[in-house]
Amino acid sequence: MEVIYRILFVALLLAQLPFLAAQEAANPDSRAEELRERRRQKLPESTPPKSPGIVKMLLYMEGGGLYERINIRYKDFYPKYGQLSTGSGGAYGIRYFKSNIAKSGLSVETSAAFSFTGYKLVDFHFGRFNKVAPNFFLGPSVFGAPFQFDEEAPDSVKSFIYLGLRYRYFPKEDFYGLGNDSRLEDRTDFLLEDGFSSVVAGHQFNQWLGVGARVGYLKVNTGLGTDEDFPDTRTLFDDDSAPGLERQPDFLRIDTAIFLNYRDIPGNPHNGGTIGFGFARFDDRGGDEFEFNTFSVDARHYFPLGSRQRVLAVRLFGLWTDAKEGSRIPFYLMRTLGGRETLRGFREFRFREARQLHLSAEYRWEAAPAFEIALFYDTGKVFPETERFKFEHLRKSIGIGFRFKRSRRVLFRLDIARSEEGTRVQFQFGPSF
């Protein structure tokens, strides 16, 4: 009997097929809508998957959100932040910039910044220049600044000439003694205060070649350091072991520099490089005790490894200082190794001498357009005589870095470095090199 019922059911179903087909042909849209409505009733309401927080942050940075927030402005006023000195910690202030005053082609820029550790810096520039007045101190942190024009208006100013005034008050500068074998336990501190007035001129001939010169008057004063955790420099060192500790003369300073720039993107290079050569003359205005010249070379190159996401970046910096016969070089004007810009596994100002050699290499992997991971190796040394210019007895550090950036510039970075003197965590605005 059950078999008979099943046969009748199938027969009735078959009999209905022509009618259902005709109804479907007459109104296909309503039938499709009915089926969609049935599916909606059976399925639970779905929501799009949520993106992880790190993904949201990277997309926000890539889209320029963070850059817009840290580059806010009110009329011609801007915030200023960063480090005033290698050992100053974070510093904050305000900057005023007014370009093309009364359509004269002249600009004015002034800024004041302070750190929570008591550091102060006041700058003033007036003349013909771009958004950032060039800095002529050839070295790892500001190399190429005179010729790295504003990326949004690269052709706005090819020649620059301006007046510069600067005042610095750095109360906790570290000093460990001179030489590559200075001891960590001899750490002291001193006050460095100076004022510098100068006239700067230069020209960018084309995209890759620029030259410039600066003439200025430098007044320096050193005093008691304010760091209560360490003794003052005068308690462990004298004028023989720290030249210039007792007398700080005024200097006439003359600088010249030439830069070759063939990077693809100056603020975030993936290919090309830079080479810079600098010369500076320091003339003691109170006698001939401190008269000397410095020669410097800074070379950097960026090798893409198969794609723009993987880059090998290398850097070489060398500095030679020669004093006039019978003259000395003040310790506070000697370049140092150690800290965020050079030997990142050592403390700031760790090694100081008349001459230095520094090399760095980084393997950079761009995990996302706004995020980069770098493995780095730093090495270098300081030495008193040219005869010791040899690749031996080098100090070394290794580490890993994390960089947050836009497509055309690095916003800030975090480096973790290891050396024979321990592990250092370094935070810095801008690129490593």
Q: What is the pLDDT of residues 70-126, one digit of tens each?
A: 556 678 888 877 777 777 777 888 889 898 898 898 999 999 999 988 999 999 999
Helix, strand, or coil here: 164? strand
Question: Would you give the distance in Å from CA 200 to the centre of its chain?
Answer: 23
Look at 384 and 63; give whichever has higher pLDDT: 384
Is position 378 within any domain?
yes
C-beta atoms surrounding 375 within 10 Å: 13
Task: Give the mean model confidence (pLDDT) for residues 288-301.
Answer: 93
Give the containing element (helix H, strand E) for 246: none
Is position 135 within any domain?
yes
Helix, strand, or coil here: 207? coil
Q: Can you give the pLDDT at residue 138?
A: 43
Q: How confident is the model at residue 265 (pLDDT cuts 50, 70, 90)?
A: confident
DSSP for 389-416, written as a single string: -SS-S-EEEEEEEEEEE-SS-EEEEEEE
| Rounded-to-10 torsion of CA 412, 418, 420, 423 | 80
Amino acid at 242: A
Is position 418 within any domain?
yes
Out of 59-73, 182-196, 205-219, the most confident range is 182-196
Is position 14 within any domain?
no
Is position 34 within any domain?
no
Helix, strand, or coil here: 308? coil
Q: How confident is the model at residue 259 (pLDDT cuts 50, 70, 90)?
A: confident
Q: Can you give the pLDDT at residue 388?
A: 67
Q: Can you give the pLDDT at residue 52?
A: 57
Is position 198 within any domain?
yes
In CATH, what number is assigned to the domain containing residue 301?
A: 2.40.160.50
Q: Could you give the maximum distance between any two Cα atoms of the chain, in Å?
A: 128
With tokens 């007045």, the residue in question is: 133
Give the containing element (helix H, strand E) for 133: none
Q: How confident is the model at residue 10 (pLDDT cuts 50, 70, 90)?
A: very low
Q: How confident is the model at residue 206 (pLDDT cuts 50, 70, 90)?
A: confident
Give the residue numbers spanning the domain of 208.
75-429
Query: Whole-angstrom Cα distance, residue 75 to residue 78?
Result: 8
Give the containing element (helix H, strand E) for 382: strand 371-383
Is position 70 within any domain?
no
Over the chain, what is the mean pLDDT?
A: 81
Q: Can you give the pLDDT at residue 28?
A: 46
217 and 251 Cβ atoms separated by less than 8 Å: yes
Cα distances from 241 to residues 225, 233, 234, 244, 404, in angstroms, run 17, 11, 10, 9, 42
Is position 15 within any domain?
no
Q: Is the pLDDT of residue 401 over 70?
A: yes
Instruction: Give the burial string for 17-29 (b: 16+ CB within 10 Å, else e).
Output: eeeeeeeeeeeee
Q: How many structural domains is the chain composed of?
A: 1
219 and 187 Cβ atoms separated by less than 8 Å: no
CA neighbor of 377 nearest in space, from 394, 395, 399, 356: 399
Look at 396 and 5; give whichever has higher pLDDT: 396
